[in-house]
Each structure stands twice: as C-alpha cells, then as structure tokens.
Amino acid sequence: MKPKIRVMVVDDSATVRQVLSRILTQAPDIEVIGTAADPLFALEKMQRNWPDVIVLDVEMPRMDGISFLKKLMAEHPTPVVICSSLTEKSADSGMQALALGAVEIITKPQLGLKQFLLDRGEQLIGAVRAAACARPRLLLLPQEEQIAPQGTEAALQASAPMSLETTDKVVAIGTSTGGTQALEILLSSLAQDVPGMVIVQHMPEKFTRAFAMRLNSRCIIEVREAREGDRVLPGLALIAPGGRHLLLKRSGAQYRVSVEDGPQVNRHKPSVDVLFRSVARCAGSNALGIIMTGMGDDGARGLKAMHDAGALTLAQDEASCVVYGMPREAIKLNAVTRTVALHRLGQEITALGF
C-alpha cells in the first residue's frame, strides 16, 4: 500500500489551521502530521517527523513565510504550497515564494472559510498531491547552462478555421505547477526579436500581474499581463490574467488577444486548452506550441489541435519538469513533435525560425 502524503500546516490563524487540516484529511492519501502557528514552532515539530509537503502562510509572527522558505530551501529542500490571502501585498510575496522554490499558490479568503472548504478543497488537495511529486531543486541548472459564457470551450469548438493571410509567427505556451520558475528560465534566454508570445500560467487573480512584472524586470523582452485587444508583437510576451481566459484572434493580418470571462475549462481559468485551440484556429502552421511542467491534462487536446493544424509543437522533457503531467498527457495524444529540456527550449525557438 502506497504511503500517505505527510503534510505540515503552518499558519498563525487557529481557524485556518483547523479548516485546512479538515480539507486535507478528507483525501484518503493525505495525512496531516502536524500544525504550527509559525515557522519556529513548525521547525521544532518537523525535526521529529519531517513532512513530505508543507502548506505555508506568508504573513506570520516571529518568522515570516518567505524567510522560512529561504531557510528551508537552503538547508532541507521540501515541497511547499503557499496558502495566502488574495491581496496585492500577498501577490508580491507569493512571487518571491515561487522564485525561492514554492510549488504552487492557493488563495484563501479573509472571510468565509466554511465556503472555502466547499469551493476550494479539491484545488488544495490537488496542489498537495502535485507538490508531493515535485523536486524542489530541479530548476537549479548547472552554472554553465544558466542563461541571464462566450469565448470559451463551446465558442472555440463552433468557430470555423480562418484562412492564413499572414506570415507573422506566434509562440503559445502553457504551463502550471513549477511553471513560474520554468518560464523565467525560458523567457530570460530569449532575444528581443523573438516572435510575439501568448502564455497561460495557472495562477490566481492578482498574482499574474505581479508575476508578469517580475518577469519583465528580468528579461530583455517585454512581459506584461494581457489586456483586451492587445496586439501580439515581436519581443512581447502576454500573460493570461488570473481568472480570465486568453484567446488569440485575427484582425486583418494582425494577431490580437481577447481576454474573456466564462466557465472553467479542465478546472482552470485561464485554461491552456482554450488558448491553444484559438491559436490552432487563427495561426495554424505559423504557430509554435510549447507545453511545460504542470499537473493534469490541461493543454493536451489544444496542443493536438495545433499539431493537426500544422504547428510545430514541443514538450518540456520529464527530467526538467517539476511535475510531468501536462507534457505526458500531450505526448499520449501524439500532439508533440519532440521533447526538449527546459534550458534548451530558447535555443529551439531560435533554431526553428521562431
């Protein structure tokens, strides 16, 4: 029998600790081995029984979550899921946490925890399962390899293919768990003349803006959160806003994006499948699709649509993925032209004429 995933919950609110523990213990494969009001208490307990996954708040007394994460990753790397309130301040802290090696962010409400138990329980359980499969040090490359209701599923299926009257290229990328670090490695390796890029990273509202700003400060290309009607231009990467779907549209010979509300697709909004299917329809063989690290199967069918429309399609290889779920599912559908290591993806984009 497979051992249960052992989880430590660290949050200064007794109510939050109780609710999160209750959510997690609903899963037959998860065991909450302890809770703590702050990281110092957590460390004392963890020395006796080290967890497989830590669910961690950011703002706590005595030691904040970011300081704890730095210490943890330097001394005993362990998969961490950040569970933080949805505020602008917590979004900035969440980006720091992801950069330090946290696997995923789950947003918790400041009010209505009982409703959170009903609405977000499966998401938290899924995040813990993904974290248990993650490898916290994976994205630290060797030094020589480091390089400075409308518009969603139903609307996409109903849309007719467009004739291609442009030679402009577009790169579409989809990723989830582990993707924040992976995207930083990829985008920071690209030259300024790279074709326009449209990207879905599974992430909550408000966090995507902070994420795009972080990437923009570290890349030669411009990176920002997508806005309705933005043109897809060389040297620009547009990140889907959290809580909205991102679609590629054609306006004459130009590519533009549409940012739309609608139901979740594959349990996600934004959804990689929604983006990829719109790219297949609008760009066809002028597109390059890349599916990267992440849990689940979002993007697999959309990448297959791109592949069938003549697009080149790449998948991040298993060795460089934090979680290999999304690339694996795309490969099962024969949607992938070839697999590529993370630190080689930028070179592949250049070599392929993209």
Active site residues: 176, 202, 298
Closest CA to 310 of 190, 161, 186: 161
Residue 61: C-alpha distances to residues 68, 87, 89, 90, 102 (Å): 11, 18, 16, 15, 20
For 100-131, the DSSP string reads HT--EEEEE-SS-HHHHHHHSHHHHHHHHHHH
Contact 152, 265 (CB under 8 A): yes
For the chain, counts of helices (H) and of strands (E): 13, 14
What b/e string do you get for 115-126 counting C-beta neighbours within 10 Å, with b at 16 or more? ebeeebbebbbb
DSSP 8-state symbol, 162:
P
Token readout for 245 is 């779907």
**End-to-end Cα spacing for the chain:** 48
